[in-house]
Structure 1
Amino acid sequence: MRTVIIEDEAFAADALENQILQLRPNAQILEKLESVEESVKWLKTHEQPDVLFCDIHLSDGSSFEIFKQVDLQSPVIFTTAFDEFAIEAFKVNSVDYLLKPIKKDALERSIKKHESLQQGNMQQELENIRNLLRNGPLKPSVAKKSRFMVKSGQSIKVIQQEEIAFFLAEEGIVLLVNFDKQRFVIDYTLDQLEEKLDPEKFFRANRQLIVSINAVARAEPYFKGRLLLQTEPSAPGDQVISSNKASAFKKWLDL
């Protein structure tokens, strides 16, 4: 089973690779790709794999952009943090999905589904993907949060979306920081917040930071195509945007 994994979180890609090899020791992991740009380039210059495991949200955009640029002949198994209801439209015979965190029994079922496919059914289901793409990306049914409830001393405080400067992962916790520089511990991971926040107003800058567009002070060129982000109020440390995310960040800012 010649396999390609498209996943922008290195630890998640490594974990999926290990699970696949545990279930199918003879599988070949041809490549692990991290971005839309990298995936398009690889798929255009290499023989297509037997199966493609593909995250929906990548560092530089949606994985749907890959399939708009590549004449895909391989079946796809999507991996996603969306809930089951939101991705029901993807449940077609030759295209499955795995809900993160990926469980080994679910992975086994997806691989068996792939192995049982007949070529005729595969072509029909690939056409289903193309129809989805022509109609635009699937909009998840996850409600976007407009406010957060936080603890302030012995009381509960409501913080509106417009008051939030950024979310910061620090020493195993996630902090909400408002424009008054107040910091509140919240019970969400950055991955969970990324799905719940309005993408027009918040951007996942790196593994530590989700920033509000109103908190961006400047972004300066950094080493190897990266950007050094400065926020107001100031986020601690050097907040660097990777070269893979730099173009998406500029587009988000409408530069």
Structure 2
Amino acid sequence: MKIVIIEDEQLAADALKAMIGGIRPEAEIVATLGSVEEAVKWLTLHQAPDLIFCDIHLSDGNSFEIFRQVEVHAPVVFTTAYNQYAIEAFKVNSVDYLLKPLKPTEVAHAIKKHEDLKKQHIAEGLKGIQKMVQAPQRKSRFLVKNGQSIKAIPTQEVAYFLAEEGVVFLYTFDGKRFIINNTLDQLEEQLDGANFFRANRHLMVHIDAVKEVRPYFKGRLELLLNPHIESEQIVSSSRAPHFKEWLDM
């Protein structure tokens, strides 16, 4: 694992190196950078590392400026003595947000979280290749019962699918609700992943139905949907990076 540390305090950088060395002795610290300018230059000229530990307050400004100046493909663990930057960190490809003084257990958790997400990326990548080979036919409409008649609802009119007590409901953007026979697992195979995302065990949501995303406890995300839904809808910490990636496509 190749790691870059962006930290302007030498003692803090040395302490972090020691923690990483104790947690993952095989890890290689390929660079220790102390300013926005230095980080932008290094990230522009070198291949992305596997992981970045980045302090938020640097000698020449806020480290979020780095990500405005250069496209960073590596996941980032932010470190700071302040907690008011969690929202800003959420917008970047962040794995974790650690408050100083750093503790070895927290650094170890952040590294393991990155490794787990990387494994999941590989597994999902293989799953995606398999799906491409199988080339499933995407659903363009759903037949639902409407009173005594049958109605066809185009997929683009669907805001989300919600599983409640073993029944899957289709919700349209105009707030109507219909029962369908499909399971969410089946829908995940049948719908275009560019438009629909399996947010959790109960919800598959259309990208245009996501009204707001809020940081939640332990790296999870809370979704506010349109049309409004009473039940709390949470994206797990393991799926949160994929969800943010999907929203940003």
Normalised to the residue count of structure 1, the TM-score between the two structures is: 0.49
Matches within 5 A, 1:28-67: 37-38=115-116, 40=118, 61=121, 63=123, 65=125
SS in 1 for 2:239: helix
Following the alignment from structure 2 to structure 1, what is the Cα–Cα distance between the partners of residues 188 and 121? 13
The two structures, once aligned, show a CA RMSD in angstroms of 2.4
Match of 2:189 in 1: 195
C-alpha contact (below 8 Å) 1:174/1:188 kept by paired residues: yes
State the identity as a percent. Answer: 50
Following the alignment from structure 1 to structure 2, what is the Cα–Cα distance between the partners of residues 216 and 153? 29
Residue 152 of structure 1 pairs with residue 146 of structure 2: yes
The count of residues paired between Structure 1 and Structure 2 equals 135
Give the letter for the 1:249 counterpart: F
Unaligned runs of 5+ in 2: 1-112
Following the alignment from structure 2 to structure 1, what is the Cα–Cα distance between the partners of residues 124 and 200? 21
Following the alignment from structure 1 to structure 2, what is the Cα–Cα distance between the partners of residues 177 and 235? 10
The structure with the larger Rg is 2
Relative to structure 1, is the Cα distance of residues 36 and 210 closer, same or farther in structure 2, using a 3 angstrom cutoff? farther
C-alpha contact (below 8 Å) 2:117/2:238 kept by paired residues: no
Relative to structure 1, is the Cα distance of residues 36 and 170 closer, same or farther in structure 2, using a 3 angstrom cutoff? farther
User: Among 232, 237, 247, which residue is 1:238 paired with?
Assistant: 232
SS in 1 for 2:246: helix
Following the alignment from structure 2 to structure 1, what is the Cα–Cα distance between the partners of residues 167 and 192? 22
Relative to structure 1, is the Cα distance of residues 217 and 40 closer, same or farther in structure 2, using a 3 angstrom cutoff? closer
C-alpha contact (below 8 Å) 1:36/1:63 kept by paired residues: no
SS in 2 for 1:211: strand
User: Among 129, 138, 159, which residue is 1:137 paired with?
Assistant: 129
C-alpha contact (below 8 Å) 1:166/1:211 kept by paired residues: yes
User: Among 174, 177, 194, which residue is 1:183 paired with?
Assistant: 177
SS in 2 for 1:137: helix
Following the alignment from structure 1 to structure 2, what is the Cα–Cα distance between the partners of residues 254 and 39? 18
Match of 1:209 in 2: 203
SS in 2 for 1:207: coil
Match of 2:23 in 1: none
Unaligned runs of 5+ in 1: 1-34, 42-59, 67-79, 81-135
Match of 1:226 in 2: 220
